[in-house]
């Protein structure tokens, strides 16, 4: 498999109102500045999209690693919180907290589960591409 990929997205907007985001073959997505920056709130913002990309990439990375490792689980839930703050170079994300909750059955090796969660964090393309560090907190639930 070739690992040299390109991903193209477009954003367009009039002088006021929402920004329309497009990727070929997908439904358009509307975004706006978050409330904290004078936006309307209640819809996706670039900040939300970045945090969502971190959470999504972690879950997809875990899914791939679990499949390759023949590890079965019931479900995984990931919350990513990005911290935006002033830094020497201006306002930027200064860190991400990635909280992963993995539900397994009672016979699962929990040490192995924890190790696979750490591998997923190390494999995530999105966090590996950001200069802000990402901290992983894990919870393994038998259910």
- Alpha helical stretches, state H, the chain: 46-68, 110-123, 125-129
What's the pLDDT score for residue 5?
92
What's the pLDDT score for residue 3?
83
The three-state secondary structure class of 96 is strand
Q: What is the distance between the alpha carbons of residues 104 and 98, in angstroms, rounded to a whole number? A: 19
Nearest CA-CA partner of 125 in 47, 64, 45: 64
* Token output for 84: 């935006």
User: Going edge to edge, which strands form the sheet with 29-31?
Assistant: 10-12, 19-22, 29-31
96 near 51, Cβ under 8 Å?
yes
pLDDT by residue for the chain (143 residues), tens digit each? 688 999 999 999 999 999 999 999 999 999 999 999 999 999 999 999 999 999 999 999 999 999 999 999 999 999 999 999 999 999 999 999 999 999 999 999 999 999 999 999 999 999 999 999 999 999 999 99
What's the pLDDT score for residue 113?
98
18 near 30, Cβ under 8 Å?
yes
Q: What is the distance between the alpha carbons of residues 58 and 80, in angstroms, rounded to a whole number? A: 9
pTM value?
0.94
Q: Which domains does the chain have, with CATH numbers?
A: 1-44 (2.20.25), 46-142 (3.30.300.20)
All residues at 6 or more sequence positions from 126 whose CB lies less than 8 Å from its CB, including other chains: 53, 54, 56, 57
């Amino acid at each position: 498999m070739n690992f040299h990929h390109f991903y193209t997205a477009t954003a367009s907007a009039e002088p006021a109102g929402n920004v329309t985001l497009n990727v070929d073959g997908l439904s358009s997505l509307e975004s706006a500045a978050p409330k904290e920056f004078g936006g309307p709130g209640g819809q996706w913002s670039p900040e939300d999209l970045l945090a969502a990309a971190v959470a999504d990439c972690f879950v997809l990375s875990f899914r791939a690693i679990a499949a390759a490792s023949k590890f079965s689980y019931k479900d995984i839930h990931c919350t990513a919180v990005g911290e935006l703050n002033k830094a020497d170079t201006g306002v930027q994300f200064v860190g991400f907290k990635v909280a992963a909750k993995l539900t397994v059955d009672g016979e699962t090796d929990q040490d192995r589960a924890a190790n696979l969660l750490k591998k997923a964090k190390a494999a995530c393309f999105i966090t590996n591409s950001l200069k802000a560090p990402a901290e992983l907190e894990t919870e393994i639930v038998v259910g």
